[in-house]
Amino acid sequence: MRDLIITLLTFLILGACSNEESYTSSNNEESLNKKIIMLESEVERYRDQFYKVYGNIVESCTTYEEDISTLGPYTLIQTTSDQDWDCINQLSGYETFTGEGFLKDGVTDVIVNSPTKQVFRSVRETKVQDIEEFYLLSYFTGGAWCCTVDVFLSKEPPYEAVFTEQSYGDSSVVWKDFDDDGEKEIEVIDTNFIHWRASTAGSALPAIYLEYYYDSFRLSKELTYIKALEKMQNTDPERFIFHERVNDLSEGLSGWQGHDIPSSLIEVIAPLIMARREDEARKFLNEKWPDHLTDKELFLSLLKEQVEQSQYW
């Protein structure tokens, strides 16, 4: 392995030398450019080969451990890798900057099987919780803004995933009895308003509520309605104001007539529409709509169109 890497590095150095040679011996700019492009593509090729060889070295110095446990009727198989960096550095003949973390290290695979089939798989570290009525599996997908995935596994036959949600950001869905009736519900932050006429930070994140009903979750219109009313009453009225933008470069595509749409306003109106309380949504919009803005009906119809994009509509 080490010899192979030295050979590859030698090719790279020779490539660089011949580049210099042709530069001094030729005045033809075009042929020089061609030569540079050719050498660059060769360097890329050697780089690819180097990573392949290096990846093989890392793999040869990595041990995998499979941990099998049970989760009620389910079997949880978790594979963890351990990269030996003394071994890797010795075989490759040099030390890396970081000394760790080439390819995947740590949890590389999580599989959950029911008695009859595979019901879950993730290549990310997964949090496993017994939440009484269900098992909850959660993992973070990574990325600057994204996303937590929650999967609810049934404790009753047929044993399967009854609910999967990818939430925005690093928060899981909330599972609790929101209305003290003895039955728990799921609070989901609906992601369908992200980037609707707003920036990422200015986007509305309306909360809706789901109830368990005959083996699956469905929208709880009543609870979604109650929570929208709570939000309406408990929000500082300042947060329902359309503020004028200093520099609106969106040409009407974002905000409304040069104003930011208050995200709290959508966070009340969208759940009201979801709960089929459109009359109350309209009444609330009428109360909050400023005199200096126009096309309120168009605004409401566009907002409603967006609500209907929700997977829970």
Give contact residues for Ca ion (rule: CB under 5 A).
Answer: 177, 179, 181, 183
CA distances, 215 to each of 28, 72, 157, 160, 165 (Å): 75, 18, 10, 10, 16
Min CB(176)–Ca ion separation in Å:
8
List, in sequence order, every residue forming a beta bridge with 256; answer none if it has no partner. Answer: 259
Q: What is the DSSP string of 254-281?
A: SSBTTEEPPHHHHHHHHHHHHTT-HHHH
For residues 170 and 182, is the Cβ–Cβ distance under 8 A?
Answer: no
Beta carbon nearer to Ca ion, 185 or 267: 185
CB of 284 to Ca ion, least distance (A): 25
User: Is the C-alpha dihedral spanning 236, 203, 265, 279 positive or negative?
Assistant: negative
Nearer Cβ to Ca ion (12/229): 229
Three-class SS string for 12-77? HHHHHHHHHHHHHHCCCHHHHHHHHHHHHHHHHHHHHHHHHHHHHHHHHCEEEEEEEEEECCEEEE
CB-wise, 125 or 179, nearer to Ca ion?
179
Nearest distance in Å: CB 223, Ca ion: 7
CA distance 228 to 264: 10
Q: How far is the CB of 205 from Ca ion (least distance, A)?
A: 22
Supply the minimum distance, in Å, between the C-beta of residue 211 and Ca ion: 7
Nearer to Ca ion, 183 or 278 (CB): 183
Q: Would you give the distance in Å from CA 5 to the centre of its chain?
A: 38
Cβ at position 174, least distance to Ca ion in Å: 12
- Residue the block writes with tokens 């001094």: 24
Q: Which residue is it, tokens 């728990």?
A: 184
Q: How many other C-beta atoms lie within 10 A of the C-beta of residue 106?
A: 11
CB of residue 264 to Ca ion, shortest distance in Å: 25
